[in-house]
Amino acid sequence: LKGMYDTFVGDLEKSNADEADSQKAFEELMATKKQELETLQATLESQEMDEATKNKMLADSNALLDDTKVKLEADEKLFEDVKAGCKLKAEEWSERTHLRTMELTGVGEAIHILTNEDSRDVFQRSVTTFVQVSATSRRNGASAELLSHSVKLGSLARKYHNI
């Protein structure tokens, strides 16, 4: 019986030692797993935060893109309006320049005719033959119409700074 007892005690001690070693290995494994769990949770939290930041940036970028598209359309419309206005102004300027050139050519030609040697002779002969004796003023429809046209021409000249 003593042999059996000694064997039982030896086996019990061996089992207790094995149990203690197993418990220690289990506790070390649990500590390692807890540390891994904490690391994984921190990584998950960090990745969720990054994803939220990226989603916010995407939403902000999409809103900015929409605003930019609206502004681009408005700017393109304004550009077309300004372009059409400039074309109209260029055509008006071209017409005014052409008319002004024709007017200056006509004035130059009139001056040439009036200062020509032949014209001087005609004027000198006409001074002796034509003398105005009297003048009368009539206010009828024709002269009122001419006066009206003169006023209109004067206002147009002031409007276009062409006096």
pLDDT digits (tens, 9 = 90+) for 12-37: 899 999 999 999 999 999 999 999 99
pTM of the predicted model, to two decimals? 0.43
First vs last C-alpha separation in the chain: 144
Q: Could you tell me which residues come within 8 angstroms of residue 157 by beta carbon, excluding any fewer than 6 positions away?
A: 163
Confidence of residue 122 (pLDDT cuts 50, 70, 90): confident
SS3 state at 1: coil
The dihedral region occupied by 161, where left means phi > 0, alpha psi between -120 and 50, and beta the remainder, is left
* Backbone CA torsion sign across 7, 13, 14, 15: positive
- Calpha distance 39→32 (Å, rounded): 11
